[in-house]
Amino acid sequence: MLVAAASAIPYTEEVGMSVVDTLLQIASNDSLRSSIPLDVWSWLNERPSLPAACWGHYLGSRQNVVRTIRHLEDVETLKSFLLLVWSEWDGLYSEGLQEMSFSIQLELGKPGMWRHREDLLRHLDHILGQLDLGMEHLRQHDPDVSEGDIQRRKDQYGTLREVLLEVEMEATEMLTRKPLRLAALFHLLIPMDRHEVTLDIYVCNSSPMSIAAYPGYSQFIP
């Protein structure tokens, strides 16, 4: 397997590009995917620049590939995978798009994941910007692209952007609600009538000191 052989080769951008492209193609094959060692998925975190003509973009967006990445339970690898597979040069499998949306909601919805969401949103904005340049621009690397292809990609990546924005909004609301819950809890711990609690301290010119911590109770310390 190319991926296994590449482990013994010093990393270069070209090696990373070839390994990741091959890895995504192998992962799209149901009969081969289970043979991929877990540590091989770490190659995704190198994030090599995949070429425009790359089967890994499209085949890597299959539902079972996305699900496999999510089951690794590694947010960094999930983000790297999405950054690699999302491209203006290719659309996505419909089932894979749904799985990506679910993965974003499940794995990237926590307030602490804001940097990951920011990176993904920036990448989607770049893709949508490239698609807005039109068919002549995209035909430089994809002569067969049609207006229908471009619109489909705009719709798909626009959907993912909306999912990310929705998750971002929900995470922000969670952060704003948290201080309110803490304030409410603190309020419950403080008596409504502060005069109900008294603290009397009697200090003599010299020791001993007498402290009455609660009404009707006194303790003398010799």
For residue 184, the model assigns a pLDDT of: 52
- Cα separation, 103 vs 36, in Å, equals 21
Q: Which residues of 85-98 are buried (b: 16+ CB within 10 A; e: fewer)?
A: bbbbbbbbbeebbe
Give per-residue pLDDT as tens, 152-177: 999 999 999 999 999 999 888 877 76
pLDDT at 206 over 80: no
Q: What is the mean pLDDT of residues 212-222?
A: 43
- Cα separation, 97 vs 3, in Å, equals 26
DSSP summary character for residue 141: T
218 and 119: one domain?
A: no
pLDDT at 78 over 80: yes
For residue 86, the model assigns a pLDDT of: 97
65 and 40: one domain?
A: yes
For residue 53, the model assigns a pLDDT of: 84
Q: DSSP for 54-103?
A: -HHHHHTTSHHHHHHHHHT--HHHHHHHHHHH-BTTB---HHHHHHHHHH
Confirm if 79 and 121 have CB atoms less than 8 A apart.
no
132 and 220: one domain?
A: no
Give per-residue pLDDT as tens, 80-118: 999 999 999 999 999 999 999 999 999 998 888 989 999
The pLDDT confidence band at residue 7, using thresholds 50, 70 and 90, is low
How many domains are contained in the chain?
Answer: 2
112 and 205: one domain?
A: no
């040069």: which residue's tokens? 89
Q: What percent of the chain is modeled with pLDDT above 70?
A: 76
109 and 216: one domain?
A: no
51 and 130: one domain?
A: yes
Least confident range of 2-16, 47-61, 100-114, 177-191: 177-191
127 and 171: one domain?
A: yes
98 and 162: one domain?
A: yes
125 and 180: one domain?
A: yes
Whole-structure pTM value: 0.77
Give per-residue pLDDT as tens, 124-162: 999 999 999 999 999 988 889 999 999 999 999 999 999
179 and 217: one domain?
A: no
Residue range of the domain that includes 199: 195-222
For residue 175, the model assigns a pLDDT of: 75
Kindly give the residue spans of alpha helices, DSSP state H, lying in the chain.
Answer: 2-6, 13-27, 30-33, 55-59, 63-71, 75-85, 94-107, 114-131, 135-138, 147-189
pLDDT at 210 over 90: no
Q: Quick one: which of 193, 168, 164 has its CA closest to 82?
A: 164
156 and 201: one domain?
A: no
pLDDT at 37 over 70: yes
For residue 64, the model assigns a pLDDT of: 97
218 and 134: one domain?
A: no
Q: What is the mean pLDDT of residues 45-60?
A: 92
For residue 11, the model assigns a pLDDT of: 83
Q: Quick one: which of 96, 108, 79, 98 has its CA closest to 171?
A: 108
Confirm if 36 and 27 have CB atoms less than 8 A apart.
yes
pLDDT at 203 over 80: no
Judged on CB neighbours under 10 Å (0-12, 13-18, 19+), 49 is exposed
